[in-house]
Structure 1
């Protein structure tokens, strides 16, 4: 039975080209700086996002937390949006690793008001922590893309106060596809950025942290401190090179499939699709338990080879990805209608 996995784009499998590249990768000890495949990936990644240098890291959470550790001093405060991944899904790591506290701003679909950001910056007061960093997320995990104008406004605030901006850009290439711009139009509004090679780009593992050469040199040592100094990492970096070269341009297909899925779901009585957050490959929707119980839906789908997550914050989320075709969406929709009836 074929599995249709709509839980996330983290479930993507590496392509045949990636597997072949991994098998044939030229490798060396990356802690010594001897792995040519990692070096090639880091150079490519930095160029693509318009930064001086980049660093290969094991995961997106690792990259975000490495950025916080590298940008800040212990006891600093970091300003970020209340529902951001760093706050909600990184197990409180900022307090453990960087020793910072988070000051959250309630945003609108992941977007912070720049005037509020400025108001939240701490004054030079003996009783208060120093604002050490501002974090933005693009695209946001709620399914929305933050406008370039908003990112620009927040960067102007940060520059006025001599504060760095880190971007959680796990899906920044999805954001660029949605906005129909070169990704550098987004990343020029931050001092550092983490982006994932997995998720929609389908590499099996790994993320990149990019910024100035000085920042990356410091981050490289902190990566070692955090246990992220890998050895013959070129085996996995090889897949990351293909992800950046070959997979970015196809993200629009996932977006088109998400829009199709949303439109078809919206035609079913009792389903309320969150169209205001349908910017990338994520479809959020509400469905009353009067139509079908959550447990029955999950179990019924699974019997037909369809994997979904349960309800979170009163919503379902279906995520399109390279492993989900339009035919798979039609199959899913038909099974949903059968289960409801």
Structure 2
């Protein structure tokens, strides 16, 4: 089975497990006077994450969803408006913060432009009319097909927000963006106040996300993490894998995934039943809309599964394919062959 549903399917390397040093484990839930836990491996990982993003501090979370929730709760209160686009992952899949029965935050939607990036005019109008207390962006954009925001594009949002409105970036795949744009993660983060990123997608760790920001915000997020049930004890057993995941060689390896995504894109783009924005394929995600006389996305998914290929339905009638370590060039070439044959021979 060739499984392209998500890069969360990436399996950890043996050396990630071997990196667990029992001598460095401690209770991460017991804070010192500086708000740091007692697990040395977790502290090492948080220090590295802060350095890579150019922020003062970082905090380790078991999931990206919890990291994002802690970030929003650090900046916002019940009833506050947040600026975001309606296809952001944190709104479609993590929207409990917008549920009146729980946290009661109010989404204020800005539009995306033709490149599936924040429309500056729309965002400016929203800032004037809705007075959001936080601007949220996503980089890379999951439902936008993995498209990247460049440092210059983020700077334009910063200029619009000024010093009054903080910016939070859901950077679950921020390292994919950095590799694609040939820049550093620090450069991508310099004009945002806080950023989260995931270790367990393309970077290949089995668990974990980091939230990075200034010291005051991270101390607040640490208290919120406890209230959300995210405090861990000997969390170094997970942080050890994260340290390997953030090695430079592992980050550079993401280009292999991007190359395989381009092979997918080029192999299916000419199919008459596929609507694919080839310019949006910048990283490891290929998203296309199906326009077929017999199959909708759900039906095609089942047919492909029978033929040994698994993909994911997103939005209305679109399919997402994600490349990652463990998916080879031979695999994606086979997927191209199967998709084209399936959509032609009906």
With normalisation by structure 1, the TM-score equals 0.91
1:334 alignment counterpart: 337
Query: Does 2:177 match 1:175?
Result: yes
Aligned partners of 1:195, 1:106: CA distance in 2, in Å?
A: 24
2:152 alignment counterpart: 149
Query: Does 2:119 match 1:113?
Result: yes
Aligned partners of 1:312, 1:110: CA distance in 2, in Å?
A: 14
Aligned partners of 1:219, 1:176: CA distance in 2, in Å?
A: 25
Aligned partners of 1:114, 1:339: CA distance in 2, in Å?
A: 41
How far residue 26 of structure 1 moved from its aligned partner, in angstroms, is 3.3
- Alignment CA distance shift 1:111-1:97 (3 Å): farther
1:39 alignment counterpart: 43
How far residue 77 of structure 1 moved from its aligned partner, in angstroms, is 0.9
In the alignment, is the contact (CA less than 8 A) between 1:281 and 1:320 conserved in 2?
yes
Aligned partners of 1:233, 1:106: CA distance in 2, in Å?
A: 40
The correspondence for 1:210, drawn from 197, 209, 212, is: 212
- Alignment CA distance shift 1:328-1:281 (3 Å): same
How far residue 23 of structure 1 moved from its aligned partner, in angstroms, is 7.7
Moved more, 232-241 or 280-289: 280-289
How far residue 202 of structure 1 moved from its aligned partner, in angstroms, is 0.9
2:5 alignment counterpart: 7
Aligned partners of 2:297, 2:169: CA distance in 1, in Å?
A: 35
Instruction: Spell out the pairing of 1:26-65 with structure 2 (5 A cutoff).
Output: 26-32=24-30, 33-65=37-69
Question: SS of 2:315's equivalent?
Answer: coil
Aligned partners of 1:36, 1:221: CA distance in 2, in Å?
A: 19
How far residue 122 of structure 1 moved from its aligned partner, in angstroms, is 5.3
- In structure 1, the gaps of 5 or more residues are 124-128
How far residue 250 of structure 1 moved from its aligned partner, in angstroms, is 1.0
- Alignment CA distance shift 1:122-1:271 (3 Å): closer
Aligned partners of 1:198, 1:25: CA distance in 2, in Å?
A: 24
2:71 alignment counterpart: 67
How far residue 13 of structure 1 moved from its aligned partner, in angstroms, is 1.1
Question: SS of 1:75's equivalent?
Answer: coil
In the alignment, is the contact (CA less than 8 A) between 1:65 and 1:97 conserved in 2?
no
Question: SS of 2:19's equivalent?
Answer: helix
2:136 alignment counterpart: 135
Residue deviations 1:253-305 (CA, integer Å, cap 9, x gap): 11111011110112434333221311111111233333756555433432343
- Alignment CA distance shift 1:155-1:329 (3 Å): same
Question: SS of 2:218's equivalent?
Answer: helix
Question: SS of 1:201's equivalent?
Answer: coil
C-alpha root-mean-square deviation of aligned residues, in Å? 2.1
How far residue 219 of structure 1 moved from its aligned partner, in angstroms, is 0.8
How far residue 130 of structure 1 moved from its aligned partner, in angstroms, is 5.4
Question: SS of 1:131's equivalent?
Answer: coil
1:126 alignment counterpart: none
Instruction: Spell out the pairing of 1:227-246 with structure 2 (5 A cutoff).
Output: 227-245=229-247, 246=249
Query: Does 2:21 match 1:17?
Result: no
1:298 alignment counterpart: 301
How far residue 339 of structure 1 moved from its aligned partner, in angstroms, is 3.3
Question: SS of 1:30's equivalent?
Answer: coil
Residue deviations 1:184-212 (CA, integer Å, cap 9, x gap): 11100100001101111111111000000
Residue deviations 1:224-269 (CA, integer Å, cap 9, x gap): 1111111111111111111111421111111111011110112434
Aligned partners of 1:281, 1:80: CA distance in 2, in Å?
A: 23
Aligned partners of 2:318, 2:23: CA distance in 1, in Å?
A: 43
2:90 alignment counterpart: 86
With normalisation by structure 2, the TM-score equals 0.89
Moved more, 90-99 or 280-289: 90-99
- Alignment CA distance shift 1:34-1:294 (3 Å): same
- Alignment CA distance shift 1:237-1:263 (3 Å): same
Aligned residues: 333
In the alignment, is the contact (CA less than 8 A) between 2:50 and 2:58 conserved in 1?
yes
